[in-house]
Amino acid sequence: MKATRLECLADQEKVEKIDIITAAMGHALATEGGFCTGSARVIDHQRLSSSGYVFSASLPPYLASAAITAIDVLESNPALVAKLKENIAILWKGLSNIQGLSIASHPESPIVFLKLEKSIGSVKDDLKLLENIADRALKEDSVFVVVSKRSTLDKCRLPIGIKLLVSVAHSESDMFKACESLKRVAEVVLNNYN
């Protein structure tokens, strides 16, 4: 059965019909590793079939403790998640109408990914253009964004783009400033290339 995370959380019966649930803890919980869970039958199979890997790559106790603490903080402060969602929505609204750039990430993701709507020629030229936008946003408005780069080792060729990392620590004015800066700088830089 294939279902979204939100559908599963909302309906316990659907959770029971799912064979296996996996999650990574690297980004959201500022730790490493992940977990898999499911019915007793599936977990027994996993334990028997992958014991060499599972036990040789087990999460160290201090990282498990960090993940548990992060979950405890989120459970005791539901306002943190609400604030993060508000910040993401503000950024999405502000960045969604920049000429020449489009948002290529999930609307609820705290990593907002902007990519060029149309390549200006080569990956190298696109990268130079995006780095120019990022550099000007930093120099002119103190807005720090990251330009993703490709490696020759990448198996999956994702588009290059600008990454914005949204946090609960950002204020509403931080979000508006980032949007205004990127919009202004992108228009200037993209107009110079057209």
CA distance 138 to 127: 16
Which pLDDT score, from 0 to 100, does residue 61 have?
A: 83
> Residue 157 corresponds to which tokens in the numbers above?
């060729």
Q: Give this prediction's pTM.
A: 0.73
pLDDT tens digit string along 127-140? 999 999 999 999 99
pLDDT in the model for residue 56: 57
Provide the pLDDT for residue 123: 85
18 versus 175: the higher-pLDDT residue is: 175
Q: Residue 168: is its pLDDT beyond 50?
A: yes
CB-CB neighbours of 187 under 10 Å: 15
pLDDT for res 131: 95
Q: Where in the chain are the domains?
A: 5-76, 78-193
The whole-number pLDDT of residue 1 equals 43
- Out of 3.90.1150.170, 3.20.10.10, 3.40.50.300, 3.30.479.10, which CATH number does the structure's domain 78-193 have? 3.90.1150.170
Q: How far apart are CA 136 and CA 189, in angstroms?
A: 9
Q: Work out the angle between the directed axes of helices 78-95 and 172-193 (0-180°, nearest 10).
A: 30
Asked whether the beta carbons of 188 and 133 are under 8 A apart, the reply is: no
What pLDDT does 49 receive?
76
Q: What is the mean pLDDT of the chain?
A: 83
> What is residue 12's predicted lDDT score, i.e. its pLDDT?
61
Q: Which amino acid is at 189?
A: V
Q: Which helix (H) or strand (E) holds 101?
A: strand 101-103
CA dihedral of residues 81, 82, 86, 92 (deg, nearest 10) = 50
